[in-house]
Amino acid sequence: MKGEWSAMRFDIVIIGGGLSGLTAGIALAEAGKDVALVSAGQSTLHFMGGSLDLLGSDERGNDLFKPLDAIAKLNEKHPYKKLEDVSRLAGVAKQILERAGLATTGYATANHWRITPIGALMPTWLTLEGMAAIDDPDKMPWRKVALVNIVNYLDFPTKFLAAGMRERGVEVDVKAVILPEFQQLRQSPTEMRSTNIAKVIEQNDLLVKFADQVNSVVGEGYDMVLLPSVLGISSNEKAMQLLRLINVPASYVDTLPPSVPGVRMQSQLRRRFMALGGSFFTGDQVIEGIYDGNNLKGVKTAKLDGTVLEADNFVLATGSFVSRGLVADYNHVYEPALGVDVDDLGLDRKTWATVDVTEAQPYMEMGVATDHKLHCKRSGNVMSNLYAAGSVLSGHNSIKLLDGAGVDMLTALQVTENILNQ
């Protein structure tokens, strides 16, 4: 009857299906907890390349070789300051990825450098197997590189990539391959996207054909072949198989979004969560919390009409502004799902951003207010069983500091431990 609500009961309900929510969900499910995860749909993992950043830049914009040393010097507002042991949690995060079938290179003790789609070198923490990575940006490991693209594929800007490597003393030759099976995609530039190319290659079993094309345009004398990451949307097996079929050592460089490695990461983490018995409510979003004082009793969603998701503990991992985990109007920034407190910059909009778009924008550090245990606050009061993790947290600028994935995964793991150790 209208007005009556039934309940679905879990140990933990996680709100948000991106990297942070999935990390917490997997870790809690591995610990034997009954976990439900509510996800609105695609996460920002679709924009993430083949690498995960821990801390790549300091406050002055300098690249970091030793991220753990720099983390110790961060200001007290940064989410890392609420973690018990950053180095240990970084190791746990790497193991979580590996158990989900996501092999990576790299460790928290020293950054390596990834090649961006526009040819820059960026410091990073973990890089997925098969993706190009460099140990030292001042010592390029290749003398001569073949940069191989697909004809009419615009999201792999070879001119920028080539220019970036040539500035570092690498001889670069740009090559192109073409397969008849891509003809339908080439009729519309909007269809010539990395994820669509990956599906065409895999569904038509074009690995050998693609490798033969690459081998036909790449002769002798090259130290490395760099390819766009347009293979391995469901798993990395086929992507690695293609590299083995090429006569010269080969690696992938990420493309402009959508990112095939990012899509693969999301799908494999989801599969891991569900294989552990987790309940996944996809295409839905939390619209209201049911509170009893400083305790969250349950949440209502947009699609579970008449049903409340109840739990002993809840984790808010809805992300920042891009994923609408935070929303801004002309007067303030707020958290729309549960109405928890946000650390913002006050009512003067002039303080939210700088005129120079190349400068770090102050609004990027806005986020949900938490205590030292990552409990959310509501009307100034600490919520006893509601935690926040990931980019919804206040106190850091992931674009400036290159720390987004690290904050996502490590705060999620700290929240997991806080829940399990209650």
- Tell which CATH architecture fits domain 6-104+264-420: 3-Layer(bba) Sandwich (3.50)
41 close to 283: Cβ distance less than 8 angstroms: yes
Residues 6+ apart with CB under 8 A from 136: 113
Given this model, what pLDDT does residue 219 score?
87
For residue 179, pLDDT beyond 70: yes
pLDDT in tens, 61-89: 889 999 999 999 999 999 999 999 999 99
Instruction: Quote the radius of gyration of the chain (alpha carbons, Å).
Output: 22
DSSP string, 347-402: S-GGGT--S-TTSPPGGGG-EE-B-TT-EEEETTEEEEEEEE-GGGBSS--HHHH-
Contact 191, 150 (CB under 8 A): no
pLDDT of residue 2: 46
pLDDT at 348 over 80: no
Instruction: Summarize pLDDT for 35-66 with one digit per residue, the tens.
Output: 999 998 777 888 888 999 999 998 888 899 99
The 3-state DSSP class for residue 23 equals helix
Percent of the chain with pLDDT over 90: 73
Interval 86-110 mean pLDDT: 97
Global confidence as pTM: 0.93
- Second-level CATH architecture of 132-253: 3-Layer(aba) Sandwich (3.40)
Alpha-helical runs (H) found in 10-167: 19-30, 67-71, 86-99, 158-166
User: Length of the chain in residues, anyone?
Assistant: 422
What are the pLDDT digits (tens) for 7-22? 999 999 999 999 999 9
Q: Any idea where the domains of the chain sit in the sequence?
A: 6-104+264-420, 132-253
pLDDT digits (tens, 9 = 90+) for 371-416: 999 999 999 999 999 999 999 999 998 888 999 999 999 999 999 9
pLDDT of residue 115: 94
Each residue's pLDDT tens digit, 118-134: 889 999 999 999 999 99
pLDDT (0 to 100) of residue 234: 82
Section 273-294 average pLDDT: 95
pLDDT above 90: residue 144: yes
Question: What percent of the chain clears pLDDT 70, i.e. is strictly above it?
Answer: 94
Banded pLDDT at 357 (limits 50, 70, 90): low
